[in-house]
A = this chain, B = another copy of it.
């Protein structure tokens, strides 16, 4: 009976521009240990991959397991990926990441099968499989953070389109002559309602002499402004910040309605750092606006909810992907 250790755990990795998160999951998708490391993307892709491997080892160790107990690693990367090749084609928030063979390099470092997906796709997988128990046939995930991305579950499966780039909902134009977006176009959803857009509008207001508690809290230059500060300011009665967040919520509601009219999903799930920090402030307006803009008949039985997974959506989805692929 000299069997080796049983490879019955799955590892999820969320590779972000500032931090790497890893989690060890049982087959039931219960997370039994996790770890975190800064990305240090300025040090180059090779070192980032070493850090990912280290963060994986840390989580496995934390769970009192060895890497031999892991059947597969699923990793979400912030950019365009080639799923079949397991490479990152381009990741704007990771310095120098162009055509990086992430799967190959990580498999070399860890000696475990690795599967690479887009971060929003993987977050949608995590929410669908773990939080919603795989029940909705069609689900749209909207993730609002530094940027805005989407993940689509159609007929129970991740939908990624012809070039594996489907779900780029952040660059859906909502206001043709709206504010300039990082992508070069104007009026993209991301340029109206991401954390970046909200912060920019607040900073512009302050520059124009607008009064806000945020200046008392952080100084004139609003250095180190975070979503949590915005929540605090609103709760202390800051009308200016409240209005900007309300407007962003309306944009998110309109984008949600667009996606409901287009896909008619059973569930729309909102997630990401902005929603996690400002859920109580934003979800009411988002749902109300979406219902206003959705066509009659399309909303029947459709739910719009905030994910409870928060920052763990990515690692959970990584484990879901690994469980599916490492058979």
Please give the residue numbers on chain A whose beta carbons come within 8 Å of chain B beta carbons, in ascending order. Answer: 80, 89-90, 137-138, 150, 154-155, 159-169, 171-178, 183, 185, 187, 251, 254, 257-259, 261-266, 292-293, 295-298, 300-302
A301 / chain B contacts, CB cutoff of 8 Å: 162-163
Contact flag A174-B171 (CB < 8 Å), given A162-B302, A264-B162: no
**Cα-based distance from A298 to B162 in the complex (angstroms):** 8
Contact partners of A162 in chain B: CB under 8 A: 137-138, 264-266, 301-302
Partner of A258, one of B138, B160, B173: B173
Our pick among B161, B173, B265 for the contact of A257 (Cβ within 8 Å) is B173
Residues of B within 8 A of A187 (CB): 175
Chain B contacts for A292, CB-based, 8 A: 185
Contacts of A174 in B (CB 8 A): 173-176
Q: How many copies does the complex hold?
A: 2
A159 cross-chain contacts in B, Cβ below 8 A: 154-155
Complexed CA–CA distance, A118 and B185 (Å): 34
29 pairs across A/B with beta carbons < 8 Å?
A: A80-B297, A90-B296, A150-B262, A154-B154, A154-B159, A161-B263, A161-B264, A162-B265, A162-B266, A162-B301, A162-B302, A163-B298, A164-B264, A165-B261, A165-B264, A165-B298, A166-B264, A167-B262, A168-B262, A168-B264, A168-B298, A169-B261, A169-B262, A172-B262, A173-B254, A173-B258, A174-B174, A185-B292, A259-B262
Q: Which chain B residue shows the least CB distance to A160?
A: B264
With A264-B160, A265-B161 already in contact, the answer to whether A258 and B166 are too (CB < 8 A) is no
A162-B264, A176-B251 are known; give 10 further A-B pairs, CB within 8 A.
A162-B302, A165-B295, A168-B261, A169-B261, A171-B261, A171-B295, A172-B261, A173-B257, A175-B176, A176-B178
Q: Most chain-B Cβ atoms within 10 A of its Cβ — which of A159, A164, A166, A261?
A: A261
A137 to B162, CA, bound (A): 8
Contacts of A185 in B (CB 8 A): 292-293
Q: Which of A162, A187, A251 has the most CB of B within 10 A?
A: A162
Distance in Å: Cβ of A149 to nearest Cβ of chain B: 11
Complex Cα distance, B298 from A262, in Å, reads 19
Asked whether, in the complex, the Cβ of B264 is within 8 Å of the Cβ of A295, the reply is: no
Alpha-carbon separation in the docked complex, A80 to B174 (Å): 25
Q: Decide: A297 and B163 in contact? CB cutoff 8 A.
A: yes
The distance in angstroms between the C-alpha atoms of A265 and B164, with both chains bound, is 10
Closest 8 pairs between A and B when the two form their complex, measured CB to CB = A161-B264, A168-B261, A166-B264, A162-B266, A165-B298, A165-B264, A172-B258, A175-B176
